Amino acid sequence: MFNINFARFSKNLTPWFLRSPRFKQWIGVMTWGASLALDTLKSYRIQKDYELKFTGQRLYLERWLNDKFDPVNKAITVTNIVLTLNPFVFNKIEGREMYVFNKWKSATAYVTNDHVTHLGIVYKALQATTANTPASSPAFWSVVRDQIYLFNKTEIGGAIVFTVTIPVTITLNAQTTADIKTEIDKFVIAGKNYEIVSA
């Protein structure tokens, strides 16, 4: 929804016999407003995602834990984990944004525009290549985007929602951890997972 390429979308919907440079320019002008609106929406979404990190519940829980366990320094923090939206995967022929590519192999011969994944990044071949590592061969490979990871339903269901960071000035032994969990569980919605770390 948030990654619409209006230029490519309008080109695909235009009959081949109308794809003249002048007509493409006219289509570009007609879709400019939609592209601008989408960019504005993306900026708005980023801002709102940032604002949602500071919910009343998070601030209240942070204050409560500091009053209970660190009333002097008040160094306990609660950090929301940014949850990645589940990606949609399409076939390459569908012409959509997300594809699944094979892992790069040194023995495989690649041609121009072949895509591979290597060290968590998707690369595109700029020319025919064999045994040139994508991460260290900018003449042969260009970065496309970060790699997409697919998860099982159980993995998504068990994702950590927030982290409670306890300062090193507080001894985080078994009893203290149990006491902190007891206080957190008073406020946390059932099914929301969290972790307690010392830093």
Is 81 in the same domain as 112?
A: no
pLDDT tens track for 32-65 = 888 888 888 888 888 777 666 666 777 888 888 9
Domain closes at, from 125, 146, 167:
146
Is 157 in the same domain as 68?
A: yes
In a domain, 173, yes or no: yes
Is 109 in the same domain as 96?
A: yes
Q: Given this model, what pLDDT does residue 141 score?
A: 94
Is 159 in the same domain as 179?
A: yes
pLDDT of 79 > 70? The answer is yes
In a domain, 80, yes or no: yes
Is 96 in the same domain as 142?
A: yes
Which whole number is the average pLDDT over 103-110? 92
Is 159 in the same domain as 72?
A: yes
pLDDT of 126 > 90? The answer is yes
Average pLDDT, the chain: 82
Q: Given this model, what pLDDT does residue 157 score?
A: 56
55 against 23, higher pLDDT: 23
Domain count, the chain: 3
Radius of gyration of the chain from Cα atoms? 24
In a domain, 76, yes or no: yes
pLDDT tens track for 146-182 = 777 666 666 665 667 789 999 999 988 999 999 999 9
Report pTM: 0.43
Host domain of residue 44: 6-50
In a domain, 1, yes or no: no
Is 42 in the same domain as 129?
A: no
How many other CB atoms are found less than 10 A from the CB of residue 129? 19
d(CA 106, CA 119) in angstroms, rounded, equals 14
Name the residue among 98, 138, 134, 99 with its Cα closest to residue 119.
134
H-state helical runs in the chain: 6-13, 21-51, 56-69, 153-157, 174-185
